[in-house]
Chains A and B, each alone.
Chain A
Amino acid sequence: MPSRPKSFSRRWRLAPILRFAYLAFFLLFVLVPIYWMFNTSIKPSDDYLAIPPVWFPDAPTLVHYEAALFAYRGLEGLINSLIISLSATVLSALLGTLMAYSLARYNTGGQHLSFWVLSQRFLPPVGIVLPLFLIYRNLGIHDTRFGLILAYTMFTLPVSVWMMFAYFRQMPKSMEEAALVDGWTRWQAFWRVAVPLAAPGIVAAAVFAFIACWTEFFFALVLTSRNAFTLPTVFRAFIGFQGAQYGEAAALAIVSLGPSIVLGVLAQKHLVRGLTLGAVRG
């Protein structure tokens, strides 16, 4: 995220106190739910109903983590999530890069093809998931990792394509042309010149694909049940609970926050491009 040079005009900045008060409020708003979740995850069950609420438990405990990971099969979900998200990420980044390069350099299919891909991003998932459920059952890939990997590759593909499309567009093409004149084939110019140069963009696209897969719920809910379930779907077990499982739910949430937040914050620089499908450079 580029920051303004120091001397940004005084004109319309909020008065400093107002600005910082607002930012403080905003920070609190963001942090309190996360902190309360963390707090709940390490709080002994006896503290749940205490009045006033316990903000800093005296005797932190990890029992909820143990229960969440084993009794509620959180660990299995975690492993499934990792395998499925990573595989789908690699596939999505690979297929996305291939297609984006073709669109950016050869204008393949004109505007129609690129907008067709884009339109996939805005389809309501419920429209795809219902028939996909039936198809998966017929093919026998319902509740398999393979099935969900395919679905996730498909569902992250539009963003990967468009992010890479924008990336290749702003990359000068003369290096690839030099490779062509130097005696390489189009594939080699792509693979040996364009891909290494686009590596930062590919990594960024992959990070956003990973986050999208890691946090996805709806597809996983419908397309998996007892075997290939992912981490977010484990939370089904905590719905409608009456007190006893707060800590487990919180512990599982804290476990699954880690990877996507770390990756997201690291890839901050590319965030705007990721959120706007490359339309805004940020």
Chain B
Amino acid sequence: MAEVKITGLHKRYGAFHAVKGIDLHIPDGEFTVLVGPSGCGKSTLLRTIAGLEEASGGTIEIGGQVVNDHRPRDRDVAMVFQDYALYPHMTVANNIGFGLKARKMPRAEVEKRVTEAARMLGITQLLDRLPRQLSGGQRQRVAIGRAIVRNPRVFLFDEPLSNLDAQLRDEMRGEIKRLHQEIATTIIYVTHDQIEAMTLADRIVLMRDGVIEQQGAPLDLFERPATTFVAGFLGSPKMSFLPGKFLRDGSAAAISLGDVLMPLPPARASIAAADGQLILLGLRPEHLSRAEGPAPVPGHIRQEAVVDLIQPTGSRSYATLRLAGAPAMAELQAHDVSRPGERLAIDINMNRASIFDAQTQRAL
């Protein structure tokens, strides 16, 4: 077990700059998820930590030791690959024990550990099989077994669930989380799936174009996104962005969306925005609800909207609304909305709304 510290890390492939100066400190035992769209450099970063790619600049420390010049074999990390990378010509037992044999561990000890790892993962009955005789979920377990049997300083996961079907993916996600709770080893986990990131991570590191866009606890990122990119990436359906103008009058503040004036609650009025500044108002679907009662609760604004499109999911329906001329999605009770073209009164929770500078796309 060890902390991982990355300082000013760069990775270039010829003219292509994949990782552009990453600084990241991962405390011992933390579950960190690197997430971002494909091509953002997250896998490259992970592979550089593993030693499979050579850093073009900056340092990587594992357990307080700079490992830039260490081969993967000397870093004492374990990695679970996207395609599992099981050795097709070896049995499950040999697959799991292969790393121990590299350490010249006595045969009896290898066997003991392999049995133990197989028991932990519930694959004891598969030990004599070859990888091609296993299902996707079983292969996944063997790949994890190969990692835990060594109890390395750091676990690296490279999109381990992306080859599984949806149901198995949910199941394995739970198991990986439980595994971390039990063995408490540092885990760095790469995924492009924001739900995996939200559910698994102690901390999310959201990357874009080779740099860290924002990092922090999942709920921090979700509730206080630093940029429109982060806000749009996390949460499904996506946050809606409505272009408007910030207005300030003494201690009171409001946002104007076209003709509509939306006063900000006092708690939000103090944000660092100037009068007349162009902004984007970020609203998540759950921040819009059907109006109830004679007047909105404090911090909410009541507004009329036209329904453009309805996507029922069962108990809830996602409705695309035309709100002050711009499209915004609302998550409503299934029966709150019936047909496109309908006019609805909507309560907007301004306490939770995000406000971004229209130019820099950064939160205000």
**A interface with B by C-beta (< 8 Å):** 172, 174-175, 177-186, 188, 193, 196-197
**B interface with A by C-beta (< 8 Å):** 50-52, 71-73, 75, 77-79, 81-83, 85-89, 98-99, 102-103, 146, 150, 156
| Complex contact A178–B89 (CB within 8 A) | no
| Complex contact B73–A183 (CB within 8 A) | yes
Residues of A within 8 A of B83 (CB): 172, 174
Cα A268 to Cα B89 with chains together (Å) = 24
Taking A178-B146, A180-B51, A183-B99 as contacts, is the C-beta distance between A197 and B73 under 8 angstroms?
no
| Complex contact A181–B78 (CB within 8 A) | yes
Query: Could you pull out 11 A-B pairs where Cβ atoms are within 8 angstroms?
Result: A172-B83, A175-B85, A175-B88, A177-B52, A177-B79, A178-B86, A180-B51, A180-B72, A181-B52, A184-B98, A188-B102
Residues of B within 8 A of A174 (CB): 81-83, 85
Give, as a whole number of angstroms, the nearest-CB distance from B144 to chain A: 12
Cα A185 to Cα B103 with chains together (Å) = 11
Give, as a whole number of angstroms, the nearest-CB distance from B22 to chain A: 20
Tell me which of A172, A181, A196, A197 contacts B72 (CB under 8 A).
A181
A to B contact number (C-beta, < 8 Å): 63
Nearest CB to that of A185 among chain B residues?
A: B73
Tell me which of A182, A193, A197 contacts B99 (CB under 8 A).
A182
Tell me which of A172, A178, A184, A186 contacts B79 (CB under 8 A).
A178
Give, as a whole number of angstroms, the nearest-CB distance from B190 to chain A: 14
Cα A174 to Cα B77 with chains together (Å) = 15
Taking A172-B85, A185-B73, A197-B89 as contacts, is the C-beta distance between A179 and B52 under 8 angstroms?
no
For the A-B complex with A174-B82, A180-B51, A188-B102 known, give 19 more contacts whose Cβ atoms are closer than 8 Å: A175-B85, A175-B87, A177-B72, A177-B79, A177-B81, A177-B85, A178-B79, A179-B87, A180-B52, A181-B50, A181-B77, A181-B156, A182-B78, A182-B98, A182-B146, A183-B102, A183-B150, A196-B89, A197-B88
| Complex contact A184–B89 (CB within 8 A) | no
Cα A197 to Cα B150 with chains together (Å) = 24
* Pairs of residues from A and B, 10 with the lowest C-beta to C-beta distance, nearest first: A183-B102, A182-B99, A174-B85, A178-B85, A180-B72, A183-B73, A174-B81, A181-B79, A196-B89, A181-B72
Cα A29 to Cα B102 with chains together (Å) = 59
Give, as a whole number of angstroms, the nearest-CB distance from A104 to chain B: 16
| Complex contact A180–B85 (CB within 8 A) | no
Residues of B within 8 A of A184 (CB): 73, 98, 102
| Complex contact B73–A180 (CB within 8 A) | yes
Cα A183 to Cα B104 with chains together (Å) = 10
Nearest CB to that of A177 among chain B residues?
A: B52
Residues of B within 8 A of A183 (CB): 73, 99, 102-103, 150
Cα A62 to Cα B251 with chains together (Å) = 115
Give, as a whole number of angstroms, the nearest-CB distance from B201 to chain A: 22
Cα A193 to Cα B146 with chains together (Å) = 15
Instruction: Give the residue among B83, B85, B88, B98 with the most A Cβ atoms within 10 A.
Output: B85
Residues of B within 8 A of A181 (CB): 50-52, 72-73, 75, 77-79, 99, 156
Residues of A within 8 A of B88 (CB): 175, 197
Residues of A within 8 A of B78 (CB): 181-182
Cα A184 to Cα B104 with chains together (Å) = 11
Give, as a whole number of angstroms, the nearest-CB distance from A108 to chain B: 15
Taking A183-B103, A188-B102 as contacts, is the C-beta distance between A178 and B87 under 8 angstroms?
yes
Cα A169 to Cα B83 with chains together (Å) = 17
Give, as a whole number of angstroms, the nearest-CB distance from B83 to chain A: 6
Give, as a whole number of angstroms, the nearest-CB distance from B203 to chain A: 23
Residues of B within 8 A of A177 (CB): 50, 52, 72, 79, 81, 85
Nearest CB to that of A199 among chain B residues?
A: B89
Give, as a whole number of angstroms, the nearest-CB distance from A106 to chain B: 12
Residues of B within 8 A of A172 (CB): 83, 85
Instruction: Give the residue among B79, B86, B150 with the most A Cβ atoms within 10 A.
Output: B79
Residues of B within 8 A of A182 (CB): 73, 78, 98-99, 102, 146, 150
Give, as a whole number of angstroms, the nearest-CB distance from A152 to chain B: 31
Residues of B within 8 A of A196 (CB): 89
Give, as a whole number of angstroms, the nearest-CB distance from A54 to chain B: 55
Cα A186 to Cα B73 with chains together (Å) = 9
Residues of A within 8 A of B72 (CB): 177, 180-181
Residues of B within 8 A of A188 (CB): 102
Nearest CB to that of B89 among chain A residues?
A: A196
| Complex contact B89–A179 (CB within 8 A) | no
Cα A193 to Cα B50 with chains together (Å) = 19
Nearest CB to that of A186 among chain B residues?
A: B71
Nearest CB to that of B77 among chain A residues?
A: A181
Cα A174 to Cα B103 with chains together (Å) = 21
Nearest CB to that of B79 among chain A residues?
A: A181
Give, as a whole number of angstroms, the nearest-CB distance from B267 to chain A: 49
Cα A174 to Cα B87 with chains together (Å) = 10
Residues of B within 8 A of A193 (CB): 87
Give, as a whole number of angstroms, the nearest-CB distance from B256 to chain A: 54
Residues of B within 8 A of A178 (CB): 79, 81, 85-87, 146
Cα A177 to Cα B78 with chains together (Å) = 11
Cα A257 to Cα B236 with chains together (Å) = 69
Residues of A within 8 A of B103 (CB): 183
Give, as a whole number of angstroms, the nearest-CB distance from B175 to chain A: 20
Residues of B within 8 A of A197 (CB): 88-89
Give, as a whole number of angstroms, the nearest-CB distance from B105 to chain A: 10
Cα A183 to Cα B88 with chains together (Å) = 18
Residues of A within 8 A of B73 (CB): 180-185
Cα A196 to Cα B72 with chains together (Å) = 22
